[in-house]
């Protein structure tokens, strides 16, 4: 019976110190965007084509966070959103940057985590992608609009 009282006391202490809240917050859902794109080379030019994006959710513990490639060259993806619906050219970043090593033409997949307080679910998003070489020069870039709104 003493052990039950001790465990109960420990649980109350953890509850009031916020430890349980921190543990349970890791299992909350965060918004992500799954991005698939293709890279092709035509006439000695690198092009990012066939960009597709879908919105989803993962638990915080499985969220990718900031991802950078181990080495250059790299291919990067960011999610942007319009600041003002009447001026769609004014955009801000609403995601954590995500990058992987660029190994040449082919298909690439990303899971990009969105910022919790910046992303507006009622407005469309823009997926921005670019390839950076060893000398920090941009080889290619592309941006597409995706309607992932919730009513």
CATH of the domain at 100: 2.60.40.3250
pLDDT digit string, tens, across residues 59-73: 887 878 788 777 788
Instruction: Summarize the confidence of residues 67-91 as an average pLDDT.
Output: 81
**Bigger pLDDT: 86 or 108?**
108
Q: Please, what sign has the CA dihedral across residues 41, 43, 47, 50?
A: negative
Q: Which two tokens stand for residue 83?
A: 């600041």
* 37: phi then psi, degrees, rounded to nearest 5: -145, 165
CA pair distance 76, 38, nearest whole angstrom: 13
Q: Domain for residue 151, yes or no? A: no
In the prediction, which pLDDT does 19 show? 60
Total domains in the chain come to 1
Residues 90 and 81: their CA atoms lie apart, in Å, by 8
Residue 6 inside a domain? The answer is: no
Q: Considering the domain boundaries, does residue 12 fall inside one?
A: no
Q: What is the pLDDT of residues 8-60, one digit of tens each?
A: 777 777 666 666 566 665 668 888 899 999 999 998 898 998 999 888 888 88
Looking at the domain assignment, is residue 13 inside a domain?
A: no
Query: Which domain does 46 fall in, by range?
Result: 28-146
- Which has the closest alpha carbon to 51: 65, 72, 61, 37? 37
* pLDDT computed for residue 128 by the predictor: 92
User: Which pair of tokens denotes residue 104?
Assistant: 């040449």
**Nearest CA-CA partner of 75 in 52, 103, 114, 94:** 103
Q: Per the omega criterion (within 30 degrees of 0), is the bond before 93 cis? A: no
Is the model's pLDDT at 117 over the cut of 80?
no
* Dist CA 106 CA 109 (whole Å): 10
What CA–CA distances, in Å, run from 96 to 6, 7, 25, 64, 76?
A: 43, 40, 19, 9, 11
Residue 7 domain-assigned (yes or no): no
Gyration radius (Cα) of the chain, Å: 21
The enclosing H or E element of 144 equals strand 138-146
Does the residue 5 lie in any domain? no
pLDDT more than 90, % of the chain:
22
């Amino acid at each position: 019976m003493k052990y039950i009282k001790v465990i109960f006391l420990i649980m109350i202490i953890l509850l009031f110190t916020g430890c349980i809240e921190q543990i349970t917050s890791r299992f909350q859902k965060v918004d992500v965007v799954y991005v698939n794109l293709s890279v092709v080379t035509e006439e000695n030019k690198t092009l990012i084509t066939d960009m597709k994006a879908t919105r989803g959710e993962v638990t915080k513990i499985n969220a990718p966070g900031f991802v950078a490639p181990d080495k250059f060259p790299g291919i990067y993806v960011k999610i942007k959103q319009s600041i003002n619906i009447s001026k769609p050219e004014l955009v801000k970043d609403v995601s954590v940057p995500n990058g992987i090593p660029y190994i040449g033409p082919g298909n690439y997949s990303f899971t990009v985590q969105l910022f919790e307080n910046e992303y507006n679910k009622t407005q469309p998003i823009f997926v921005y992608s670019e390839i950076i070489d060893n000398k920090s020069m941009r080889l290619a870039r592309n941006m597409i609009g995706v309607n992932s709104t919730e009513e």
